[in-house]
Amino acid sequence: MVITHHGGQCFKVSFGDTTLAFDPIGKKSKLTPVKFGADVAFVSLHHPNFDGPENATHGSKDPFVIDGPGEYEVGEVTARGFGVPTNYEGQERFNTIYQVTLEGMNLVFLGALGDPAIDAKILGELGDIDILFVPIGGGDVLEVPQASKLAVKLEAKCVIPMHYDKQSLAAFLKEEGSKNAKPTDKLTLKKKDVAAMSGEIAVLEPKTK
């Protein structure tokens, strides 16, 4: 599995011939839209920063779009979405937390989560988390201390911060005791690699192209 970061909360996850796009950035966003082909596009919240599945259409790939709660199975990908209320840019909205199973690994993408108090029923459904994508930038999403405490609570083997600037990233790494973590352009993982981890932080440098 290869994971790359494309700004904001946009991540590309590739394994074999299958590509997933999480929160692809829309054309109307102030963030830079990145165009790559995906088989499945996950949208956590309907806002241009996260809702641009048209940018995950490229070449022969036209993604199946998942944009809300429910159970899904697309090829090798099994996913579940859990809706939670949130407030983004002053508007009451719904954010979807996604649990995705592939290559024997359990990925949890928290989306534009603003409240760390996730319903106990949802927490019970997430299972043992291998890779956790958590927003840390504050404002409309989790503040650094909230994000850090939630990551510890969820006991994820590998934590990938998102929705951050330099200041919030530095604060998060300090909170986690990982001040020397160096950003990488991609993360390549196998099940055995993740099994040996215990709350490790993986910082992915956003791609600019």
Task: Say what the pTM is.
Answer: 0.95
Over range 17-29, report the average pLDDT.
Answer: 94
Dihedral angle sign, alpha carbons of residues 9, 12, 13, 19: positive
Supply the pLDDT for residue 145.
95
Residue 166 has which token pair?
Answer: 């330099």
Supply the pLDDT for residue 181.
73
The CA–CA distances, whole Å, from 197 to 106, 148, 189, 192, 193 equal 14, 17, 11, 9, 7
Residue 178's Cα: distance from chain center in Å?
Answer: 20
Residue 89 has which token pair?
Answer: 């840019």
Q: What is the pLDDT of residues 56-80, one digit of tens each?
A: 988 888 999 999 999 999 998 999 9
> If one looks up domain 2-201 in CATH, what number appears?
3.60.15.10
- Sheet holding 200-201: strands in order across? 70-74, 77-88, 91-102, 105-109, 131-135, 158-162, 200-201
Domain limits, the chain: 2-201
Q: Which of the four pLDDT bands, split at 50, 70 and 90, describes residue 179?
A: low
| pLDDT for 154 beyond 80 | yes
Q: Cβ(75)–Cβ(61) under 8 Å? A: no
Supply the pLDDT for residue 59.
80
Q: Cβ(67)–Cβ(46) under 8 Å? A: yes
| pLDDT for 35 beyond 90 | no
